[in-house]
Structure 1
Amino acid sequence: MSSSYDVIGNPSFFGRVWAEDYDSETELDPTPAVDFLAQLAGGRRTLELAIGTGRVGLPLAARGVPVEGVEGSELMAAKLAAKPGGSDVPVTIGDMADVPVSGRFALVYLVFNTIFNLVDVRRQADCFANVARVLEPDGAFVIETYVPAPSHFPDGKRVQALWADAESAAIEVYDVDLAAQRFVSQKVIFTADGIRLKPHAERYSFPGELDLMAERAGLRLAERYESWDRRPFTGSSPGHVSVYRPM
């Protein structure tokens, strides 16, 4: 029997729920990430896992980096392809944990907490192993995630007000399995036309867990920063950008 995690964590389901307004809801400046990744890529073959609508991949390609992508949602990939330059970025539809591509890459990367979209810890480990398989000997695997803070979810629950105006309001409700490090969240949007639900699921991992997955895959932590601007990572950092390289 399928669980809520299996359904909500499916990339096709994610695309059906989020693709239509994904760009407007993630209006994050990609420039710091693109600057960081372009320097690592050095103009060599690069792969973005869960490339989505191309928020990072398209401006990176515009820098002259040969970018390819893996994406689990055909709807998200179609959004990318419809953008200027999008049709020039090869995208493989498939599970990012499988890294279903051929050949070797100088750089593979996953941004915006997306490795946590793999809601099974074994699949997160598979992702590391399959990235190691396609990396050049001097290549790099870069991930960007938040640092989990279970204290934000007393008793595994949280309700958060997002906005309220004359025409709409929204809340986000979290149900967290603290032992399994997984959660289902539901963004509930109220408008005059009715109620819209936007569910999401994640399996969060702490930095040390990710380092262990990397080590078991034959990768080592080479660099870790708090953010794309290479701010030093500390015990109070809310997030991290980590660079892994083959041992």
Structure 2
Amino acid sequence: MGRGETRMNMVVCVKRVPDTAESEVHIDASGKDIDKSRLSFGINECDNYAVEEAIQIKERLGDSTVTVISMGSKESDEVIRMALAKGGDDAIRLEDEAFAGGDGLATAKALAAAIKGLEYDIVFTGALADDDGYAVVPAALGELLGVPHATYVKKVEISEDGKKAKVGRELEGGLMEFLEIELPCVLGIQTGINEPRYASFKGIKQAAKKEIAVKSASDLGLDASEVGEAGSWAVLEKFTLPVVGEM
């Protein structure tokens, strides 16, 4: 597709997660989460690839936009601004005590409410989150928005008329499934689809000046009973670590 032939308004959902790969993990006093006080944080790995895919499409097409959305406290601004520094245009952060303790479905409800107020052609998410591994959000988000969706996506091609996307999904055994999906749609991006870039110094400086719109549950027209733990299908009762040596 040639530059400027079509315009895409894209949304990328990103999540700030703890880096547990090289750290010793402990359960916190509540017994329902890990102790995050000594952990470093960063962008969810799959989300980083999702950001890159959206930016690459924007660069190929020209007149397109990328909106970054995240749910969390002000600390999440770090990963939001990094996505902006790489090429995102604007950002929204969802913050409310009512969002706490939510599962993938409750998270998708809040994200869907925010996205419904935007003009969008493609919503990108990571295929799954490093911290909980639910892999629920992409499909739930697609259903709540009432648009087609695909998960574990490792290839995206936009049609010449900008009305469809050909996507390749990673299956077991190294197989790929190819689908043609009408836009708008939701795509859950798998790692390896591209090579995420590093943010430039210029991009970081520009991102630091951009405003991040903060929205609460009420701003999104949501009742507290619809989101967070109250709006979840799955409720975490206890968190345990595997015994060393067990699979």
- TM category, shorter: 0.3 to 0.5
As a proportion of its length, which structure holds more helix?
Answer: 1
What TM-score, normalized by structure 1, do the two folds share? 0.34
Higher relative contact order (CA 8 A, sep 6+): 2
As a proportion of its length, which structure holds more strand?
Answer: 1
